[in-house]
Every structure is written in C-alpha cells, then in structure tokens.
C-alpha cells in the first residue's frame, strides 16, 4: 500500500459545478478501486492525497497527471504506508471559498471533519500545511 500527495495549479479557476463533477467522478472511481484520500482546492491550487494499493495508485496518478484541467503538478510524497490516514474518505473534498463551502452540504463542510490528529504521517502534515497556508478552517 502507498500514498501519493501532489499539488497542482488549475489551468482556469474552477467553477463550483466543475469541482462537483471532479468530486462525484472521483468518489465513484475510488470506491470501485478501494482508494481513499482527500482533495483540497484554494484559488486555483489543488492538493490531493491518494491512498491504496501500489498498482492502483500508480495507474490513477498517471491518469491524473494527464488531465488537462491542471498543470505544474508537483509530487510532494510518494511512499509506502502501513495504514491509510484517510481511510473513511472515498474522497474528502473542500474548497476554501467560504461562500462555496457553505453550499457543500453533505460533503466536507469543515476541515474539522478530517481527523488530522489521528497520526503523524507525511500526508497529514502536507494537508495541515496547505490548510494553514490557505487560512482554511485551521482549528483541527
């Protein structure tokens, strides 16, 4: 099992419907492949954690890197893991525009819903840094 954490820049600022499409498709795909993770978006920047079987994650990440909706993809972490940090999330999702975040009822309404105190993995550290840097809901 492994995780990959990457950051990327949206080619164009994403509209709410585009983000919902990404979320919906990710959840369907990830459930079928037993992949978990979290995706955060802030003013044109994405950070994503993917967790699962090595082969599945590698194939998915290759597909993600070919996606034309983002560019400047930087792999922050690509490492083996013993257990998942976001096992309960087919794809946790948040955007930092508070107006849009309030409309995400049934999704990740607050980063408090992510249990970021459950371990000290590099993936959790990367997500915490992104949250703090983008002044997202930092009371985790």
Does 140 fall in a domain? no
- Kind of pairing, strands 36-42 and 92-95? parallel
Does 86 fall in a domain? yes
Cβ neighbours of residue 40 under 8 Å, at least 6 residues apart? Answer: 46, 47, 48, 93, 94, 95, 96, 127, 130, 131, 134, 136
pLDDT tens digits, 3-33: 999 999 999 988 878 888 888 788 788 888 8
Does 62 fall in a domain? yes
Which band of pLDDT confidence, cut at 50, 70 and 90, is reported for residue 104? very low
In whole angstroms, what is the distance from residue 91 CA to residue 50 CA?
Answer: 9
Phi, psi (rounded to 5 degrees) for 96: -95, -5
User: Max CA-CA distance within the chain?
Assistant: 38
Residue 106 has pLDDT above 50, yes or no: no
pLDDT at residue 6, as a whole number: 94
Per the structure block, which two tokens stand in for 108?
């990740």
CB 85 within 8 A of CB 21: no
Give the CATH number, domain containing residue 63: 3.30.70.100
**Residue recorded with tokens 């009371």:** 139
How many domains does one find in the chain? 1
Residue 113 has pLDDT above 80, yes or no: no
pLDDT tens digits, 45-89: 888 889 999 999 999 999 999 999 999 999 999 999 998 887 776
Tell me which residue range forms the domain holding 46.
2-133
pLDDT at residue 29, as a whole number: 82
Average pLDDT over residues 132-136: 69
pLDDT tens digits, 116-131: 555 667 787 777 777 7
The SS3 call for residue 106 is coil
Does 42 fall in a domain? yes
Phi, psi (rounded to 5 degrees) for 78: -145, 95
- What burial class does residue 49 get, using C-beta atoms within 10 Å of its C-beta: 0-12 exposed, 13-18 middle, 19+ buried? buried
Does 75 fall in a domain? yes
Does 46 fall in a domain? yes
pTM: 0.73
Does 138 fall in a domain? no
Does 78 fall in a domain? yes
**Which of these, 139, 136, 46, lies nearest to 91 by C-alpha position?**
46
């Amino acid at each position: 099992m492994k995780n990959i954490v990457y950051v990327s820049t949206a080619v164009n600022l994403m509209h709410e419907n585009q983000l919902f499409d990404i979320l919906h498709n990710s959840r369907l795909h990830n459930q079928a492949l037993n992949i978990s993770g979290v995706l955060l978006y802030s003013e044109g920047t994405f950070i994503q954690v993917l967790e699962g079987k090595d082969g599945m994650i590698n194939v998915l990440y290759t597909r993600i890197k070919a996606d034309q909706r983002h560019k400047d993809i930087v792999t922050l972490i690509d490492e083996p893991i013993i257990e998942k940090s976001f096992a309960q999330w087919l794809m946790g999702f948040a955007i930092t525009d508070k107006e849009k975040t309030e409309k995400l009822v049934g999704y990740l309404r607050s980063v408090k819903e992510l249990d970021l105190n459950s371990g000290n993995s590099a993936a959790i550290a990367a997500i915490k840094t992104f949250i703090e840097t983008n002044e997202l809901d930092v009371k985790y």
